[in-house]
Amino acid sequence: MVIGSGLTSADVIASLDAKGFAGKITCLSRRGLRSRGHAFGFAPTAARFAEQPETTALGLLRRIRRAVRADADAGLPWQAVLDRVRIDGPAIWAALPLAERQKLVRKLRIWWDVHRFRIAPQIEAVLDRRIAEGSLTMLAARLDHAEARANNIHIGWRTRRREGGKPHHDSANFDAVIVTTGPAHGGILGASPVLRDLADAGLVRCDALKLGLDVANVAQAVGLGGKPSAGLYVAGPLARGHIGELMGIPEVTAHAEATAAMVLAAIGQKRDGRTGALDRQLDCSA
């Protein structure tokens, strides 16, 4: 069993296949959605989302759908629009009030993830082949229980409620279970002793969306009192509650550069302050 159906799950399944694993694989996730594939050689979309950005999650969704339909009429794949959404991500996120951000994370995040984090064609071909031959099953279900037994692992799950029906409970035995659900950023304060100590000291706190740490002014950590913690910065994915899209290499790189610039500026201010203080001391001595 593979728990999770995102990029890591696809890589694990492809790796098992490459090593000659011929047994059956069951992939379980809450919605049973696979990461979508790439498209190549298409022109950029004319859509722009940073210009007069939407202020509601529903408005943003409708705007993206209109752009995808317009691109389809022009012979472009949906990937063109999603690539533009990614580029315009900071402006899109900044325009959304907290309540709309919460709505987007709760209702649309899963759809963004499977379209944004795409799998390579070679890996997609492995998944398609194994599904067709019956050696890979994608389950939309929630994990109920897991029990390690002498010779296997017993897993129970509850399938999603069908319209007008009830959830279905099922279970099976597996030789191995691989968890590919990714980092639990919402529980990072409990998982990291360093961050837990910083939180206990009042220097950091979780963001309101439970995506990572609360951040202000691009990268400055926010403490329990809601005030930025001087000299403490958050670079990378843990700041995505403030920035928005912050998981890919280009976004992480840009955020690291912005954070480094802030640190350099802060160091420069301290150095200038010390120089000024020394000048005043020399003036007094004279």
Mean pLDDT of 1-21: 96
Judge whether 30 lies within some domain: yes
Domain boundary among 153, 179, 205: 179
Number of H helices and E strands in the chain, helices first, is 11, 9
Same structural domain, 225 and 239: yes
Same structural domain, 30 and 136: yes
Confidence band for 160, pLDDT divided at 50, 70 and 90: confident
Judge whether 222 lies within some domain: yes
**Measured distance CA(99)–CA(186) in Å, rounded:** 18
Percent of the chain with pLDDT over 70: 93
> Can you give the pTM of this predicted structure?
0.84
Same structural domain, 226 and 252: yes
- Can you say how many angstroms the Cα of residue 164 is from the centroid of all Cα atoms in its chain? 32
| Nearest C-alpha neighbor of 114 from the set 161, 66, 72, 82 | 82
Domain coverage including residue 88: 57-112
Judged by DSSP in three states, 127 sits in helix
pLDDT confidence of residue 182: 78
Query: How many C-beta neighbours within 10 Å does residue 135 have?
Result: 15
pLDDT confidence of residue 96: 97
**Residue with more model confidence, 281 or 253:** 253
**95-147 residue pLDDT tens:** 999 999 999 999 999 999 999 999 999 999 999 999 999 999 999 999 999 99
Q: Is the pLDDT of residue 74 over 90?
A: yes
